[in-house]
Structure 1
Amino acid sequence: MLIREATDGDWLAVHPFLRAVVDAGHTYAYPEELSLEDARPLWMEQPPGRTVVAVDGDTVLGSAKMGPNRPGRGSHIATASFLVDPAAQGRGVGRALGEHVVGWARDAGYRGIQFNAVVETNTAAVSLWRSLGFVVLGTVPGAFRHPEHGYVGLHVMFLDLT
């Protein structure tokens, strides 16, 4: 598996699994049924952010977007979001993307990484981020409307890079 900068051509491969993940309703609060054009600016970051893809040959397995969590006086803390094609789950794609983002943020001089909205019932993601050193700072109760569990919390997670 190789992680590299996403290209315009990669967007056509990312969009179908972005739609599948978002439309399933378990992890992202994006609107359902996002068109190719409407979803692109939500995922394909512009500088100072960046978007990467995890590939196996010509197959895009997953993607991550990253950049400053806030502009100006908050720009020393990074944030990121992750997608793994459901067909590629369980192959270490999420871990590889997470490790890539942590290394990128450290190398870029960020003082920490903040995830603003990790769905508490997404136990695989919560476990992965904890294994990479993230801690849950707090949980906003009922902030996410899950299709099976109803209103569940959103964790704010943080990794100190200082």
Structure 2
Amino acid sequence: MEIRDAVPGDWPAIWPFLRQILADGDTYTLPRHPTEEWARSVWMQEPPGRTVVAVEDDGTVLGSAKFGPNHLGPASHVSTASFMVAPEHAGQGVGRALGEHAVEQARAEGYRAMQFNAVVETNTRAVALWQSLGFEVMTTLPEAFRHPVHGYVGLHIMYRRL
């Protein structure tokens, strides 16, 4: 697996799994049925943000991540990141590889920390992955996410120093 900067030609491979993940409505605080144009504008970051893809040797896009400053101005030294793995490639280490890459790149770019603003507490695989990469749950916003199966559940704010 290679992780590289995303190029515009990667979007047609990202959009189907991004659309499916958002439609499922159980992990992201984004609209469940966005237009493709809106989704592309949110996911395909412009500097200082970056979007990357994890690809197989044959070029198959397995997942994608975006990262950059969590805030601007005097708080721009803290990065944030978002990750999506194509469901058919879940459980193959793609999320871990993207997470490790994002942490390494943020550190290399001079960020002092990374913060995830909204990790759905019922997304236990993601919570366990981020904790294994050194992130801590700083707080949980009770009932801040309307899960399609579990109803109102909490959103974790997770953080780690770089």
Q: Could you report, residue by residue, the CA deviation over 1:32-52 in whole angstroms, capped at 9, with x for unpaired residues?
A: 222221211110000000000
Listed as ranges, the gaps of 5+ residues in structure 2 are none
Q: Residues of 2 paired with 1:25 and 1:160: CA distance?
A: 30
* Alignment length (residue pairs): 161
Question: Who is 2:11 aligned against?
Answer: 11
CA RMSD of aligned residues (A): 0.6
Q: Percent identity?
A: 62
In the alignment, what sits opposite 2:52? 52
The aligned counterpart of 2:130 is 129
Shift of 1:138: 0.1
The residue type paired with residue 65 of structure 2 is: A
Q: Secondary structure at the match of 2:82?
A: strand
Match of 1:156, SS state, is: strand
Q: Which residue of 2 aligns with 1:105?
A: 106
SS at match of 1:96: helix
Letter in 1 for 2:14: V
Q: Which amino acid aligns with 2:102?
A: V
1:38 aligns with 2:48: no
**Structure 1 position 65 matched with structure 2 position 69:** no
- Does the alignment pair 1:21 with 2:21? yes
What is the CA-CA distance between 1:53 and the residue it aligns to? 0.2
* 1:139 CA displacement: 0.3
* Aligned amino acid, residue 85 of structure 2: V
Secondary structure at 1:101 match in 2: helix
In 1, distance between residues paired with 2:76 and 2:29?
23
Question: Aligned partner of 1:35: which letter?
Answer: T
User: Which runs of structure 1 show a deviation greater than 3 angstroms over 4 or more consecutive aligned residues?
Assistant: none
Alignment partner of 1:81 is 2:82: yes
Unmatched 5+ stretches in structure 1: none
Distance in 1 separating the partners of 2:95 and 2:22: 16
Cα distance in structure 2, aligned partners of 1:77 and 1:123: 24
The whole-number CA distance in structure 2 between the counterparts of 1:35 and 1:16 is: 12
The residue type paired with residue 21 of structure 2 is: V
Q: What is the rounded CA distance, in whole Å, between the counterparts of 1:155 and 1:31 in structure 2?
A: 19
